[in-house]
């Protein structure tokens, strides 16, 4: 079996997927029609043609516009269910989904509608597809910390529906330190903590995420190679980095997938994982990310196994579940 074939078939966890970033143009148009929302694009093709991004912000502007069609509980369910079907096809056996409640509550959609729709899809993913799934609530970092506190309070009646919190949206100019107090509160509540850092921002933002927010994983983190001390720290602690190769390419963080730092990060002993970020916008789901990265960086079968094992090492699951996932990886290796 080639490294590419193994990359497709190996069981894996996806830990960095914004569920609103899985909204395909066809579903955006179907939901717009169902809900009577008008879109500033004439057709699916016209919308897709607008997906020519120059940086993170140019993407976020379209991503938030796309999410405007989500109004009812069933819309959130349908979006997540469509993702789970694709994840299953890519041999994703465990997924931790980011969602951005502020994008919805700002439009008058209640927290309950968002939570109920997404968590019903997670329950069905487990029951009907055998994909275990959980939710991570992300605070939008371009908004204030006060807004994040308000969002947390609104989410607490649904505490059993999410396992942790994250930090996403426009990175530059919004350092992790801005959210130190709300993350401390989330830590007290026993929530898992993650944050986007080192996507477009500097290694300093990754240090802040580690030292001030006390995160258990960093999303992206590819800026770490600019700072040898940070690399040494990450290698020592095995703090996981949820890397998204096609996202980095589409948002012009790297010019060519052959220049992507993932292989160097693996060689440095970091706990790197492969993820799709916003697959409907960046040209591919998990296996597209795996396969294109394997081919661009000439990764070996051992590298593919390391990436799959890292995804389960980094997953927020109990030790018994982790052991079962690791066994699945071993079985796929010898198959
Ligand atoms: N929200 C959705 N995708 C994102 C990304 N790649 N970076 C920051 N915020 C996001
Ligand atoms: Zn992301």
For the cut 90, the answer to whether the pLDDT of residue 63 exceeds it is yes
Q: What integer is the mean pLDDT of 283-288? A: 97
Arithmetic mean of pLDDT over the chain: 98
State residue 335's pLDDT score.
76
User: How far apart (Å, rounded) are the C-alpha atoms in residues 229 and 1?
Assistant: 38
CATH class for the domain made up of 3-334: alpha beta
Pocket flag, ligand 1, residue 18 (CB < 6 Å): yes
Quickly state the pLDDT bin for 44 (edges 50, 70, 90): very high
Pair 167, 195: CB distance under 8 Å: yes
State residue 145's pLDDT score.
98
State residue 334's pLDDT score.
81
Q: Which residue has the tokens 């992300």?
A: 138
Atom number in ligand 1 closest to CA 199: 7
> Which residue blocks in the chain are alpha helix, DSSP H?
3-9, 25-35, 44-49, 56-66, 73-89, 101-105, 111-124, 145-155, 180-188, 203-208, 228-237, 245-250, 262-267, 279-282, 286-297, 301-314, 319-334
For the cut 90, the answer to whether the pLDDT of residue 155 exceeds it is yes
For a pLDDT cut of 90, what percent of the chain falls above it?
99
3-state secondary structure of 109: coil
Task: Dump pLDDT digits (tens) for 96-145.
Answer: 999 999 999 999 999 999 999 999 999 999 999 999 999 999 999 999 99
For the cut 90, the answer to whether the pLDDT of residue 179 exceeds it is yes
| Distances in whole angstroms, Cα of residue 93 to Cα of each of 14, 15, 48 | 8, 11, 29
For the cut 90, the answer to whether the pLDDT of residue 174 exceeds it is yes
Pocket flag, ligand 1, residue 168 (CB < 6 Å): yes
Atom number in ligand 1 closest to CA 247: 6
Among protein residues, the one with the nearest Cα to ligand 1's atom 8 is: 169
Catalogue the active-site residues.
Answer: 199
Cα(334) to ligand 1 centroid in Å equals 36
Beta-strand pair 272-274/241-243: parallel
Cα(16) to ligand 2 centroid in Å equals 6
Rg from Cα positions in the chain: 19
User: How far apart (Å, rounded) are the C-alpha atoms in residues 59 and 213?
Assistant: 26
């Amino acid at each position: 079996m080639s490294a590419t074939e193994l990359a497709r078939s190996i069981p894996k966890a996806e830990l960095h997927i914004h569920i609103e970033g899985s909204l395909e143009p066809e579903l955006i148009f179907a939901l717009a029609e169902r809900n009577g929302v008008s879109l500033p694009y004439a057709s699916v093709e016209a919308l897709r043609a607008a997906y020519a991004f120059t940086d993170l912000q140019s993407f976020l502007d379209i991503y938030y516009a796309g999410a405007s069609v989500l109004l009812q509980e069933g819309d959130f369910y349908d979006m997540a269910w469509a993702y789970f079907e694709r994840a299953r096809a890519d041999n994703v056996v465990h997924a931790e989904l980011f969602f951005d409640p502020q994008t919805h509550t700002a439009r008058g959609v209640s927290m309950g509608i968002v939570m109920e729709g997404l968590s019903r899809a997670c329950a069905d993913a487990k029951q009907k597809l055998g994909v275990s799934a959980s939710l991570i609530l992300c605070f939008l970092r371009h908004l204030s910390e006060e807004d994040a506190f308000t969002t947390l309070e609104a989410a607490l009646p649904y505490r059993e529906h999410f396992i942790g919190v994250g930090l996403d949206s426009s990175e530059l100019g919004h350092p992790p330190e801005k959210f130190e107090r709300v993350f401390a509160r989330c830590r007290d509540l026993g929530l898992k903590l993650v944050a986007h850092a080192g996507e477009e921002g500097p290694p300093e933002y990754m240090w802040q995420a580690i030292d001030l927010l006390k995160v258990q994983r960093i999303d992206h983190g590819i800026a770490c190679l600019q700072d040898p001390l940070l690399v040494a720290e990450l290698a020592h602690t095995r703090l996981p980095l949820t890397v998204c190769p096609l996202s980095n390419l589409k948002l012009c963080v790297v010019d060519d997938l052959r220049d992507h730092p993932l292989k160097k990060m693996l060689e440095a002993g970091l706990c790197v994982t492969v993820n799709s970020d916003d697959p409907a916008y960046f040209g591919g789901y998990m296996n597209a990310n795996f396969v294109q990265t394997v081919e661009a960086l000439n990764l070996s079968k051992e590298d593919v196994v390391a990436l799959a094992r890292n995804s389960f090492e980094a997953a927020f699951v109990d030790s018994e579940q982790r052991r079962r996932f690791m066994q699945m990886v071993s079985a796929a290796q010898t198959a």
